[in-house]
A and B are shown apart, each in its own frame.
Chain A
């Protein structure tokens, strides 16, 4: 290596200065590697900086960037012995999806810790499936509740943590699969994630009360 021969001699930095410059660059590189590159590229976050800086991403779908409204709306249960009471009304929801060949989607409801949900879904083909949740506190700490190939499932669920909870479905075959989901529970919104990175938020209205139901006030007035 004789590149230094071209430089005028007086401008040559001393070996010590060169070493300091190299060391500085190395230290900066190491800091960025540990604080940013490792969390983003490999999911390794030894110092917690990735989470602090919001750099961590969910796999396979990036949920962290989704605008999911926060707030209670009476959907946090209050335990009274064996009963969980809610200030808000329960909701029902029914959706239908077509999952194209080799494609996937995720659909999740936002539930407060302890909030309950009933669900039933059925598809006209077997899907790669995982029922899981992403805690608000740490979306990377994905909790898997059920991971198996399925064409249908019926169940009940109590959210172990506040966050979004729902399903990953992947169509492994070369024909479209139609899936229908019905659920009810104490949630106010859902989010649908598609493989093309589109995200659709879905507001869920309170379930209609039976027509004969009277409000407490009208019942007391003897109507």
Chain B
């Protein structure tokens, strides 16, 4: 009986991981960091949506094409992020670019 339960638990875990992987998609998140706590941070996008992201050891953070420390991800900084996840509620940041905020002048 234990063998069967063990096998079922193992297979279920594998299936859950597999199904989660199938739902992932890549997103471009552009906006301002409004909260930062450790590896987790939130970005408010141009259209007012909030993206909930986290960093991992492979996340590349750059400014002017040079790698920088994650300590530069401060509240108020404008960022361009390529992220991976199911939706805006939980995404892994693959790369984060610190960029100047959009100019306030209207479009040409």
Given A60-B28, A175-B108, A178-B107, check contact A102 B14 (CB 8 Å).
no
Contacts of B17 in A (CB 8 A): 32, 37
Range of interface residues on A (Cβ < 8 Å): 35 or more
Among A29, A98, A101, chain B packs the most CB atoms within 10 A around the CB of: A101
In the bound complex, do residue A101 and residue B27 qualify as a contact, i.e. CB atoms below 8 Å apart? no
A18 within 8 A of B: yes
B7 within 8 A of A: yes
Contacts of A102 in B (CB 8 A): 30, 80, 97, 99, 102
Number of A-B residue pairs with CB-CB distance less than 8 Å in the complex they form: 91
With the chains together, A21 CA to B2 CA distance in Å?
9
In the bound complex, do residue A25 and residue B82 qualify as a contact, i.e. CB atoms below 8 Å apart? no
B37 within 8 A of A: no
In the bound complex, do residue A104 and residue B28 qualify as a contact, i.e. CB atoms below 8 Å apart? yes
With the chains together, A36 CA to B24 CA distance in Å?
12
Contacts of B46 in A (CB 8 A): 100
In the bound complex, do residue A175 and residue B102 qualify as a contact, i.e. CB atoms below 8 Å apart? yes
Contact indicator per residue, chain A 125-138, by CB within 8 Å of chain B (1) or not (0): 00000000000000
* Chain B contacts with A in 1-51, Cβ cutoff 8 A: 1-4, 6-7, 10-11, 14-15, 17-18, 21-22, 24-28, 30, 46-47
In the bound complex, do residue A60 and residue B10 qualify as a contact, i.e. CB atoms below 8 Å apart? no
A11 within 8 A of B: yes
- Which residues of chain B have a CB within 8 Å of any CB of chain A? 1-4, 6-7, 10-11, 14-15, 17-18, 21-22, 24-28, 30, 46-47, 80, 82, 97, 99-103, 105, 107-108
